[in-house]
Chains A and B, each alone.
Chain A
Amino acid sequence: MQRRRLLTGLGALVGGGSLAVSTGAFSSVSAERSVSVGLADDAYAFLRMSPISDDGLGGETGRSSTNGEVVEFEIPGDDEGENADAQGVGVDSVYEFHDLLEISNHGTQTVEVYSTYGGGALNDLALVGHNGVLRDEPPILNVGDSISVGLYIDTHGSSIGEFDETLTIIADQPDD
């Protein structure tokens, strides 16, 4: 009786996982199961990301903002606090704009936070904290912890113009 129960349990597992390993041959199994995924704005997600108000000249710079769903960056900023004389970052330069984004861990486990850049118009692009770029030794966020980060922009070899770049922000289990 014990054995029979166990086999029943295994059968359910294989069926659910769609693994084609069985003594009873079958060509395919189609089993619908429900998946519930809640979408949240960046400000309320498990990995929470909120723009930090960046005070410029008599107002906010608008270098980081949110469209209500996801955060986005613009350098120079598009608000009145940005220096109107600045048309951009110089080429062949490395710029760091600190404290643009707060990232906090609202999951249930410790994570490390870092970024990657798949290339494009810049030589390099990354998140940067007060202790440097979030790359080789990324900061560890325990549940409830947060970190203030900004952008590291390397324009060596870049041409002059306006570019739309993609920064990938990653929270992952720390390597042991």
Chain B
Amino acid sequence: MDRRKFIAGLGSLTAAGAAGIGTGAFTSVQANRGLTVDTADDSNAFLAIEAMSGDNADDYVEDGGNGTVTLDFTNTDSPGSGGGVNRDSTTIFDDLLKITNQGTNTVIVGHRQSFGPAKGALYHEDDDVSQLGDIAGDYGTPDNDGITNLDTAAAKNLPVLEPGESLENVGFFVTPDADASEDFVNGTITFTAGDQPSDIGL
């Protein structure tokens, strides 16, 4: 009699084909949910990347297409008609870029770079920006300016931007070897901003 009840129970489960949904168990749930997302050019994005105003920015910050900026030190626009940086020298380009936090939370800002064996990096000369920690002195760039390279900076050195705040006067220095080949820098710079040091890989 007990056995018969058990079979009847199985039968009703199979018929319902419902695998006991009534009890709250589920095998899997798959739910499609919508996202409406806007993409924007660099100057209008949550982390805005723009050219400063001035001769250096005019000459070396170019339109990279699809709303992005690109840095091009292969020549000057005008006047001058220079064709590149000197070998075995350090060339410094001040006042190229401005980075603005257009999000809603305070972020730590830095960059990573990949361009082969060249010695060089972005840096900033923004005296007004606050930093993660109290620091003083030498950050290892030619002018002892603010370092933004996440691969060499300690977190406390990095600039911190509140919503609406900009990191201005971002520049670039480069030191080719005496035997560097032409166009030895051809790579990418990745700007990174995050709420916590762990959010930007520190």
Residues of A within 8 A of B (CB): 5-6, 8-9, 12-13, 16-17, 31, 33-38, 42, 45-47, 49, 54-57, 61, 70-76, 81-83, 85-93, 95-96, 98, 106-109, 111, 121-122, 125, 151, 153, 155, 158-173
A162/B38 in contact, CB under 8 A = yes
Contacts of A153 in B (CB 8 A): 37
B193 to A, closest residue via Cβ: A95
Q: Is the CB of A76 within 8 A of B38?
A: yes
Q: A12-B8, A12-B11, A108-B25 are in contact. Are A70 and B33 (CB under 8 A)?
A: yes
Chain A: minimal CB distance from B13 (Å): 9
Chain A min CB distance to B5 (Å): 10
B40 touches A (CB below 8 Å): yes
Q: Chain B contacts of A163 at CB under 8 A?
A: 36-39
Tell me the complex Cα distance, A147–B164, Å: 31
A47 contacts B66, CB within 8 Å? no
Residue with the highest number of chain A CB atoms closer than 10 Å, among B26, B27, B37: B37
Partner of B39, one of A83, A151, A155: A155
A residues near B44, Cβ cutoff 8 Å: 85-88
Contact B37 A90 (CB under 8 A): no
Looking at chain B's contact residues, is the secondary structure mostly helix, strand, loop, or mixed? mixed
B22 at interface by CB-CB < 8 Å: yes
A47 to B101, CA, bound (A): 36
Q: What number of A-B contacts does a CB cutoff of 8 Å give?
A: 208
Identify 23 residue pairs between A and B in the complex whose beta-carbon atoms are under 8 Å apart, listed by A's number. A12-B8, A13-B10, A13-B11, A46-B24, A47-B31, A49-B33, A56-B104, A72-B34, A73-B35, A75-B36, A75-B38, A76-B46, A83-B102, A86-B44, A87-B45, A88-B37, A88-B40, A89-B45, A121-B39, A151-B35, A161-B39, A165-B36, A170-B31
Q: Is the CB of A93 within 8 A of B33?
A: no
User: Measuring CB to CB, which residues of chain B are less than 8 angstroms from any residue of chain A?
Assistant: 3-4, 7-8, 10-12, 14-18, 21-42, 44-49, 66-68, 100, 102-104, 163-164, 195, 199
Is B37's CB under 8 angstroms from A122's CB? yes
Centre residue among B16, B18, B46 by max chain A CB count within 10 A: B46
Given contacts A6-B3, A88-B45, A155-B39, 10 further A-B contacts (CB under 8 A): A35-B17, A57-B104, A61-B104, A72-B34, A74-B37, A83-B46, A89-B38, A121-B37, A163-B38, A171-B26
